[in-house]
Amino acid sequence: MAINVQAPDISGERQSGQDVRTQNVVACQAVANIVKSSLGPVGLDKMLVDDIGDVTITNDGATILKMLEVEHPAAKVLVELAELQDREVGDGTTSVVIIAAELLKRANDLVRNKIHPTSIISGYRLAMREACKYVDEKLAVKVEKLGKDSLINCAKTSMSSKLIGGDSDFFANLVVEAVQAVKMTNARGEVKYPIKGINILKAHGKSARDSYLLKGYALNTGRAAQGMPLRVAPARIACLDFNLQKTKMQMGVQVLVTDPRELERIRQREADMTKERIEKLLKAGANVVLTTKGIDDMALKYFVEAGAIAVRRVRKEDLRHVAKATGATAVSTFADMEGEETFDSSLLGYADEVVEERIADDDVIMIKGTKTTSAVSLILRGANDFMLDEMDRALHDALCIVKRTLESNNVVAGGGAVEAALSVYLENLAITLGSREQLAIAEFAEALLIIPKVLAVNAAKDATELVAKLRAYHHTAQTKADKKHLSSMGLDLMKGIVRNNLEAGVIEPAMSKVKIIQFATEAAITILRIDDMIKLVKDENQNDED
C-alpha cells in the first residue's frame, strides 16, 4: 500500500511501497526507450539539440544519455550505468541500458505478484553469476583459433551500428593497425594496448574514406612563428605548463617607485626574466618547446634565432600524452629547492623528428619516432562537423573493443547469439531449483531475450518468429551433444534469417558481454531495493537567514 505522508517533522513528501517502485521502473523504461531504437546494425540515430542550440547527431548510448538532462533519480542510475560501461569496455552502452530496464520491469511484475524483492534480488544475483560462468566456459572462443581477421571482425561488429557502418571494412583495418601500433609491454611483462596513445584529429573536407593513419603524435596547432624551422631532427622536447610571457608581479604585490628612471629598469628586468628562462631551456638542449599557455611575441625571436620550434596553447591532455610518449617530464615551474630557477636536461623528452605538416587547411605538428611508446594518430576526414564527431565516437568504441579483444583473447558470437543461449540455459537452470529464486531466474532468462527482439524490430523483421527460431537452435545446441556448434547461431539482420555468426564474422569480446550482464544486473538490483522515497522541500526561512 502506498501512502503520501506530509510528516510533521520533515519538510518534504514521502512515498513508499509499490508507488515508488512503479515510478522508478517507468522512469527507467522511458530512458531505455530513447536508446532502444539505436541498437543494432540498422539502428537509427538521434539528434540532440542543447540549450544553446548545439547539435549532436549520434547513436552511441553513452553520448545520448549524457546529453539528456535526466531529472529522475532512478533514471540517473541508468545514465551512470552507460557511462561506466563506456569507461570499462567502451562499447555496448545501449545494450546495457536496455537489459537493465527490462530486468527492472520484470522484477516489478514479480513484486506485484507478492514475491518479496529480496528473493528476486538473490535470484538475479545467482542468474548473473551463472550467466557469466556459462559465457566464459561454454560460449567464449579463443582468438588464436580465428586469427587476425577476428580483430577486424570485432571492429566491424562494433561499427556496424554506427554512421561509418557502410565503410566498416576500411575503418576496421585502420583501427586494428592503430591498436597494434601502440602495443607495449609494461614492467610486469604484460602486453598492454594504451589506446590513449592514439590521437584522433578531425579535419574537414574530402570523404570519410580519405581518412588515414599517421605514425606519430599529431598536435592540432602550428608553430608559434613563421621564422621557425619546419623540421627538427633529432628532437629534444620540453613540455611546459606555464606562461613564457613577460613576467608580471603577482596580484597584490605593490612596487613603490620614487625615481621615474627606475621604471624603465623594472620593465627591462621583466623582459629579461623571460629571456633568461628561454635561454635556460635552450642551454639544456631543448629544440622543441610545447607549452599549454602563451608565449610572448617578443620571446618568440629567441626561439627563431636558436632554430627551435615552439608551440603555444597545446591542450593539457595532448601535453600529457606527448610527455608520456617521449619520456619528458611536464614542468610547471622552474623554481628549485634553493629558490633559483633551473632547468635540467633530464626533463627533456626525445623523438626522432618533429615536423610541421599541412593536413587539409590546418597546420599540424607531428611528433614522430617517440622514445618510450609508439604513438599514432588517426586523421579523420569528413563532410561536416557532426559527421566527424560521430566518426570519432564510433572509432573510440571500435578501438576499445579491439583493445579488449587483444587483452582478453576471448570472443563470442554477436547478433543476439549469447543472449539467446543464456536465456535457454537459465530457463533450464531455473526449473531445477526448488527455491523461491526460481521465478526470478526464469524472468532473468526472459529479460535477456530483449536484445535479439530489439535487434529484429529495429531491422524491420518479424521479431517473434526470428527469436523463436533462434531459441530452438540454442535449445538443440544445449541438449544434443553432437550439435554443440549451433551455440553460435545468431541473427543476420540484413536478410532476416538465423545464421552462424562466428563463421559470418559477427563477433564481440566475451568480456564485453560479461560486463554488460554484470552491470545491468547490479543497476537493476540497486533500483529494485528502493521502496521509499523522501523528497525534501527547500525551507524558505533558511534562505532569508543566510
pLDDT, tens only, 176-220: 888 888 877 777 777 788 777 788 888 887 888 888 888 778 887
pTM over 0.75: yes
For 90-108, what is the mean pLDDT? 90
Helix (H, G, I), strand (E, B) or coil at 356: strand
Per-residue model confidence (pLDDT) at position 146:
61
Q: How far apart are CA 131 and CA 141, in angstroms?
A: 16
The helix (run of H) or strand (run of E) holding residue 406 is helix 385-408
Q: Tell me which residue has cell 570519432.
A: 392
Q: Tell me which residue has cell 522508478.
A: 24
Per-residue model confidence (pLDDT) at position 517:
92
- The answer to whether residue 6 scores a pLDDT higher than 80 is no
Per-residue model confidence (pLDDT) at position 441:
92
Of all residues in the chain, what percent carry a pLDDT higher than 90? 10
Of all residues in the chain, what percent carry a pLDDT higher than 70? 95
44: cell is: 537509427
Q: At what angle do helices 510-528 and 93-112 cross, to 10 degrees?
A: 40
- Average pLDDT value over all residues in the chain: 83
- The answer to whether residue 539 scores a pLDDT higher than 70 is no
Residue type, 49: V
106: cell is: 520484470
pLDDT, one tens digit per residue, over 262-318 is 888 887 887 788 788 888 888 888 888 888 888 877 778 888 888 888 888 888 888
Per-residue model confidence (pLDDT) at position 189:
75
Q: Of the ranges 32-46, 440-454, 531-545, which one carries the lowest mean pLDDT score? A: 531-545
Ramachandran region, residue 453 (left: φ > 0; alpha: ψ -120 to 50; beta: rest)? alpha
Q: How far apart are CA 462 and CA 279, in angstroms?
A: 73
Per-residue model confidence (pLDDT) at position 321:
81
What are the residue ranges spanned by the domains of the chain? 217-373
Chain centroid to Cα 409, Å, comes to 20
Query: Which sequence positions are flagged as catalytic?
Result: 60, 93-94, 397
| Cα within 13 Å of Cα(502), Cβ side | 21
Per-residue model confidence (pLDDT) at position 186:
74
Pair type for strands 330-331 and 309-311: unpaired
Helix (H, G, I), strand (E, B) or coil at 476: helix
102: cell is: 527490462
Q: How far apart are CA 453 and CA 465, in angstroms?
A: 10
Helix (H, G, I), strand (E, B) or coil at 201: strand
Per-residue model confidence (pLDDT) at position 483:
80
Chain centroid to Cα 130, Å, comes to 28
Q: Of the ranges 226-240, 327-341, 405-419, which one carries the lowest mean pLDDT score? A: 327-341
| Greatest Cα-to-Cα distance within the chain, rounded to the nearest angstrom | 101
- The answer to whether residue 521 scores a pLDDT higher than 90 is yes
Per-residue model confidence (pLDDT) at position 104:
92
Q: What are phi and psi of 149, to 5 degrees?
A: -55, -30
Listed ranges 107-121, 164-178, 326-340, 400-414; the one with the highest mean pLDDT = 107-121
Q: Tell me which residue has cell 593513419.
A: 213
Per-residue model confidence (pLDDT) at position 434:
80
Of 325, 328, 340, 342, give the one whose Cα is nearest residue 291: 328
pLDDT, one tens digit per residue, over 68-82 is 888 888 888 888 888
Per-residue model confidence (pLDDT) at position 274:
78
Residues whose CB is less than 8 angstroms from the CB of residue 27 and which lie 6 or more positions away in sequence, other chains included: 72, 74, 75
pLDDT, one tens digit per residue, over 426-445 is 999 898 888 888 889 999 99
Architecture of domain 217-373: 3-Layer(bba) Sandwich (3.50)
Q: Tell me which residue has cell 585502420.
A: 174
For 363-381, what is the mean pLDDT? 79
Q: Tell me which residue has cell 577486424.
A: 152
* Comparison of pLDDT for 295 and 472, the residue scoring more: 472
Residue 350 pairs in a beta bridge with: 236
Per-residue model confidence (pLDDT) at position 100:
92
For 470-494, what is the mean pLDDT? 85
pLDDT band at residue 423 under the 50/70/90 scheme: very high
Per-residue model confidence (pLDDT) at position 124:
92
pLDDT, one tens digit per residue, over 154-168 is 888 888 878 777 788
DSSP state of 539: P
pLDDT band at residue 4 under the 50/70/90 scheme: low
pLDDT, one tens digit per residue, over 218-271 is 887 877 778 788 888 788 888 888 777 777 767 777 777 888 888 888 878 877
